[in-house]
Structures are given as C-alpha cells and as structure tokens.
Amino acid sequence: MPEFCSVERDGKITIVTINRPKLMNALHPAANAELGQVFDDFCADPDQWVAIITGAGDRAFSAGNDLKATAAGGGSVEMTPRGFGGLTSRYDNDKPIIAAVNGVAMGGGFEIALACDLIIASDNAVFALPEPRVGLAALAGGMHRLPRQIPQKQAMGMLLTGRRVSAAEGLELGFVNEVVPQAELMAAARRWADQILECSPLSVRATKQSAMDGMKAPSVEEAMSLRYDSVHKLLKSEDFIEGPRAFAEKRKPEWKGR
C-alpha cells in the first residue's frame, strides 16, 4: 500500500491523493518515487483512461519540495527519473491527467499542476514558483512550462518575483481551466473527467500526443507531417470504426480503447 498517497480506481478513472497534510503535502524523495510508481501503474493499465491528482486536507494541493528533508540531507535535491510528483519528467504519457488544486500549489506543487493537462482550482487555491526567494530555482519544469502556457511577460512576472497568484487570476492568465468553491472541487474534476470519457480514449491519446509533440516542430506544416504513434494506433483501431457507426445509428458509442 502507498505510504505517502492514496489511490482510488473508480471505473476508468484513477484518483491519486497526495497524503502528507500535516506538511501541506510537501514531497521528499521517497514520496516522489512512490508517486512515480503510481503513475507508472496508471499509464500501463489499459482499463484506466483518465487520472485526477489532488492533495489531502483543505489547505494544500502541494507546498512543493519538503525543505526540511532537503536541509536534513545536506541541501542536495534527489529527483526520481519521472520527476517531481512522478509527473514533471514524464514525457511519454498520452493519457490525460487532471490536477484538482485544493489550496496552496507552490514550487514543485505548481510544477506538478503545470505538468497535468487540465487544472481545476478551488476558489482558495494559490499558485507560485517562489524558489528564487529561498535561493533555489523551479527546476522541475516550471521555468519552461509556464512561459509556454501563458503570455511570456506574465510568466516572467511570476518567475522573477516568486509572487503568489490567486485561482481567479490563474483563470484570467489561462493556466487554470475552471474555478469552483472548494466543496465542489472533486465533483468539478470528475465532471471534466467524465466529459473526456465520452470521447474515444484512443482519439484523446492521439490528440494529446499530437498537440504536445507537435509543439516541438517549428511550423504547423512540419507538425502535421510528423508521425505520431497514437494516431497510427487510432487509425487501425476498432474505435475508429465504432465512432462513425454509432453516429449513423444514433446511439452512444461503446469505446473499447483498441
């Protein structure tokens, strides 16, 4: 059983809850390694199509790196191959992951959320990359993901000052998809997950891989000319036939994910 998180599988949805509420769900190397294994299992499970990650308690999604553990280790920061929270260096996952941010998402906690595909925030959520204020840097992808997800000047304003941004401002800037009252957060995240599940899982994965990998190309023309394994798999799938057939027969499609 996981020690630093809990995992619930509800139908085709995996719900991962970081479970260190007394430390505002800050993560140390052992917790990062555990989360890495949890998301390895999610990615490998053909019956799990969408994941939601959140934090235990009502104060924090994750306050980021456990600085006390870092100080006890002589200041060294040990990182697992899959990155902070098992997600920030996970570049080969084509399944959608939703961050349900309940409260503080600071440093590595914000970087986990930025590594997800959607961010649903409670109205008391707070986001920041405050590493420069403690002599560190947002090395788990924050310095690179944030300028790619919001306008550059706004991103640099956050990065260079370490300032805190509310959920409402995050929505305005564009890195938050929806803001809801805290009591409604998980229901809202489930609503987004359920909408994804209405779509073909292979179509969703082909779309995610194409969108993310295509951004590496210098032009739309070159992005469209690249080969995407998930697209190739979709075109050869049963779901590729089922979708148009269900539409013609005026019924809901029965997706198989193959």
Strand-by-strand arrangement of the 5-10 sheet: 5-10, 13-18, 50-55, 97-101, 118-122, 178-180
Find, among 109, 54, 118, the residue nearest to 83 by Cα. 109
Q: Tell me: the pLDDT tens digits for 184-234?
A: 999 999 999 999 999 999 999 999 999 999 999 999 999 999 999 999 999
Distance CA(41)–CA(117), nearest Å, equals 18
pLDDT interval class at 241 (50, 70, 90): very high
Q: Cβ–Cβ contacts within 10 Å for residue 7, how many?
A: 18
Distance CA(242)–CA(258), nearest Å, equals 11
Interval 86-99 mean pLDDT: 97
Q: For domain 5-197, give the CATH number.
A: 3.90.226.10
Is 131 catalytic? The answer is yes
Say which of 3, 34, 78, 131 is annotated catalytic: 131
What pLDDT, on a 0 to 100 scale, did the predictor assign at position 25?
A: 97
Instruction: Mention every residue, 6+ apart, whose C-beta is less than 8 A from residue 42.
Output: 14, 16, 48, 51, 95
Instruction: Mention every residue, 6+ apart, whose C-beta is less than 8 A from residue 17.
Output: 5, 6, 7, 8, 53, 54, 55, 56
What pLDDT, on a 0 to 100 scale, did the predictor assign at position 135?
A: 86
List the domain boundaries for the chain: 5-197, 201-248
What pLDDT, on a 0 to 100 scale, did the predictor assign at position 213?
A: 95
- Which helix (H) or strand (E) segment holds residue 10: the answer is strand 5-10
Q: Tell me: the pLDDT tens digits for 108-126?
A: 999 999 999 999 999 999 9
What pLDDT, on a 0 to 100 scale, did the predictor assign at position 30?
A: 92
Higher pLDDT, 71 or 166: 166
Identify the three-state secondary structure at position 73.
coil
pLDDT at 175 over 70: yes
pLDDT at 75 over 70: no
Instruction: Please say whether the beta carbons of 96 and 208 come within 8 A.
Output: yes
What pLDDT, on a 0 to 100 scale, did the predictor assign at position 67?
A: 76
What pLDDT, on a 0 to 100 scale, did the predictor assign at position 44?
A: 97
What pLDDT, on a 0 to 100 scale, did the predictor assign at position 69?
A: 77
CB neighbour class for 172 (10 Å; exposed up to 12, middle 13-18, buried from 19): middle
Identify the three-state secondary structure at position 104.
strand
Q: How many alpha carbons fall within 13 Å on the CB side of residue 75?
A: 3
Q: Cβ–Cβ contacts within 10 Å for residue 184, how many?
A: 13
pLDDT interval class at 77 (50, 70, 90): low
What pLDDT, on a 0 to 100 scale, did the predictor assign at position 74?
A: 55
Say which of 111, 222, 242, 249 is annotated catalytic: 111
**Model pTM?**
0.95
Find, among 152, 34, 16, 141, the residue nearest to 91 by Cα. 141
Distance CA(106)–CA(101), nearest Å, equals 11
